[in-house]
Chain A
Amino acid sequence: MSQGAHIPHEDTGFVPERYVLAKFATSDALLEATRKIREAGQGELDTHTPYPVHGLEKALGLGRPLIPTIVLGGAIAGAFIAYSMIYFMNVLDWPINIGNRPPHSPPANIPITFELAVLLAGSSSFFGFFTLARLPKPYHPVFQSESFRQASVDGFFLSIKIREGESPDAAAALAEAEGATHVEIIEELER
């Protein structure tokens, strides 16, 4: 695993990103370390835990999640589409005398309006999340670490993305100082 400054690959000129991946024993340790290292301002941080650990958002300094807004949008769109569709089809385009019922009878439109709202809201929640999360992304440099396999079982990891031209060593050292049980430096693959 190469140390020191970035070395562009001769042939392609591709500049690999480099990560420092640090494993911690407990979620509390991770939480602590994250807060510290972020204050130290070492590159861009991310944590990898088997389940959500309360407080990490704050520690990572994440903003308000976007999902709720997206879902709200979906719901409104769904309801609007549904009602206008029904109105167009049964009132505007071809109003038919259905057993003396008025062409536009709001009560009859409620169920579909609601269902479509839910459908679009739910879908936007699901697809919204994966879009925001840039998933599916089968490859990510952190996967190169053998020990990272613990991340979904019982390992609590912190990954630090090293800025262009900087050396990972400082970050690695800092992580160790914060009590990481295992630290390694990962270089992104080209293809």
Chain B
Amino acid sequence: MSAAPSSANVSRDPLEPTVLIEGAQTDQSLNDSLLNHVWRGAGRGWWMLFGCALSALGLLLIGITYTLYKGIGAWGNNIPVGWAFGIINFVWWIGIGHAGTLISAILLLLQQKWRTSINRFAEAMTLFAVICALLFPLLHTGRPWFAAYWLMPYPSVQGIWPQFKSPLTWDVFAVSTYFTISLLFWYLGLVPDLASLRDSSKSRTKRIVYGIFALGWRGSGRHWSEYKWSYLLLAGLSTPLVLSVHTIVSFDFAVSVIPGWHTTIFPPYFVAGAVFSGFAMVATWMIPARQFLGLKHVVTIKHLENMCKVMLATGMMVTYGYIMEHFIAWYSGNPYEQGQFFKTRWHGPMQGIFLTMVFCNCVVPQIFWFKKARTHVGVIWFASILINVGMWCERFNIVVTSLHRDFLPSSWQNYAPTWVDISLFIGTIGLFSTLFLLFLKFVPAVAITEVKELRHEMEHEAHHASVGGGAGAHG
């Protein structure tokens, strides 16, 4: 990651020359404007949102308690539909989580400068999404109190081990690794900002608190030199990680024999779908956030437009996935596959969900061909919400629709969720929002350090293009 290529890169950067930071900013001004929302006391708006989030969270607690008390029978699941909302939500949340890592890691490796304004935001989202996702693998088992540790390879007195051919075992490792790494990555990036919080806070208590978390960071040149590598390598590791995680999640289905699950295209198309939904979710939150936290000067319309482009691209990958599924079903001549895709999906009892999915995931993103749409905040926001819906429907199709009609017609059964299913779903949204609002309250939503660096770097380019790539390693 040396200066030369990056600076060369910069000049050929398709984004250039565009404003990634608006107005004449100094480090000081950036510092103040970006920390402003942390210093500012919680407004009425924040409290109202927080209230809603908390009540939804309450719903989650009720749902969990009831499920543990009553058993999985509290859900709508049955035989053949052994998995339903639980796994749908799991996959959906995990997918959403991916955008964060993608933005912070992959765009970092690709030296996309525009990422700096949104990566902190997206990484936080990853964490919270993964937390929501993590609830389900445990909760959906019949006996969580055993699942909690029997899935771990520890020397038990029974002398029996986990079964490592099962995708669920892979999941355990994949998801926990993903969570750990995302957390470390996020925190490492946060440390310098925490230091500036520590140093620019007014009240002593706040300074001490932030000071504790800043771990005594003092911007030492010796630290920076290792830090850059540590951060870069974490990014480098997260990149294959993020791809592997959703690949493994897709194995939960792809490895099975069930028509609609048993397909090799799942890994790539799950990952694309993950990024798709992830960006949609980032947009859904970023648009109001930049509005109310006064971040418009760093999260410019340019950023949003780029996100739209990504959504358009991934949306089309997903669409390709759908087409491929159908093609292979037809081409393989497998009657069960054909039944699943040409009969059940289009004409079965779950038809509505399927069509919703097609509309939201294949049709809606197409509007992003138009710059007007890409640059209109309202349109983007609305579209991104639709995409979130669409992606949830996709998971419903994969999980429930495939299961409810498989090989032997004698075992076909319909599926209907219960209030517990629904409250668990809403509940996780509550959990996510709660964590997110807290994050916005106590931590800078934008990576100050990196934005400053970016500014500094662009300043240099303005002056003498020869200097200034170095930050590329970091920015």
Contact = CB atoms under 8 A, between A and B. Distances in A.
Q: Give yes or no for direct A-B contact (beta carbon below 8 Å).
A: yes
Interface of A: 27, 34, 46-57, 59-60, 62, 65-68, 71, 82, 85-86, 89-90, 93-94, 96, 98, 101, 105, 108-109, 111-112, 114-116, 118-119, 121-123, 125-126, 128-130, 132-133, 135-140, 142-143, 148-154, 157
B165 interface: yes
A53 B459 CA distance: 13
A122 B237 contact: yes
Given A94-B159, A153-B199, A136 B222 contact: no
Given A94-B159, A111-B248, A54 B216 contact: no
Nearest to A137: B216
Contacts of A52: 224-225, 227-228, 453, 470-471, 473-474
Greatest chain A CB density within 10 A among B26, B162, B164, B452 is at: B164
B169 interface: yes
B174 A111 contact: yes
Contacts of B218: 48, 140, 142-143, 148, 151-152
Greatest chain B CB density within 10 A among A62, A89, A94, A115 is at: A115
Contact of A67 (B153, B233, B468): B233
Interface string B331-354: 000000000000000000000000
A60 B219 CA distance: 14
Contacts of A116: 173, 177
B188 A118 contact: no
The 8 closest A-B pairs by CB, nearest first: A54-B470, A154-B27, A136-B215, A47-B221, A129-B230, A89-B161, A152-B196, A51-B453
Given A111-B248, A133-B227, A135-B215, 12 more contacts: A49-B224, A62-B225, A66-B226, A68-B229, A85-B153, A118-B240, A125-B184, A138-B215, A139-B216, A150-B199, A152-B199, A154-B26
Given A51-B453, A54-B467, A67-B230, A119 B196 contact: no
A50 B470 contact: no
Contact of B221 (A62, A82, A93, A111): A62
A160 B212 CA distance: 25
A168 B439 CA distance: 44
A129 B232 CA distance: 12
A139 B468 CA distance: 32
Contact of B180 (A68, A98, A122, A149): A122
Contacts of B224: 49, 52-53, 56-57
Contacts of B28: 153-154
A139 to B, nearest CB: 7
Contact of B184 (A51, A111, A114, A123): A123
Nearest to A49: B219
Given A94-B159, A111-B174, A153 B221 contact: no
B220 A48 contact: yes
8 contacts: A47-B219, A48-B220, A49-B221, A57-B225, A62-B222, A126-B187, A140-B216, A143-B216
A132 B226 contact: yes
B160 interface: yes
A93 B200 CA distance: 58
B469 interface: yes
B3 interface: yes
B251 A149 contact: no
Greatest chain A CB density within 10 A among B169, B223, B244 is at: B223
Contact of B226 (A65, A108, A152): A65
A122 B181 contact: yes
Nearest to B451: A51
Contact of A154 (B31, B215, B220, B234): B31
A48 B199 CA distance: 13
A112 B169 contact: yes
Contacts of B211: 138
Contacts of B468: 54
A13 B159 CA distance: 60
A18 B470 CA distance: 32
A47 to B, nearest CB: 4
Nearest to B159: A94
Nearest to B201: A149
A59 B28 CA distance: 25
A68 B1 CA distance: 13
A148 B471 CA distance: 23
Contacts of A86: 164
A125 B198 CA distance: 25
Contacts of B198: 152
Interface in B228-274: 228-230, 233-234, 237-238, 240-241, 244, 248, 251
B365 interface: no
A68 B233 contact: yes
B219 A152 contact: yes
B4 to A, nearest CB: 12
Given A67-B226, A115-B173, A152-B195, A129 B188 contact: yes
B471 A151 contact: no
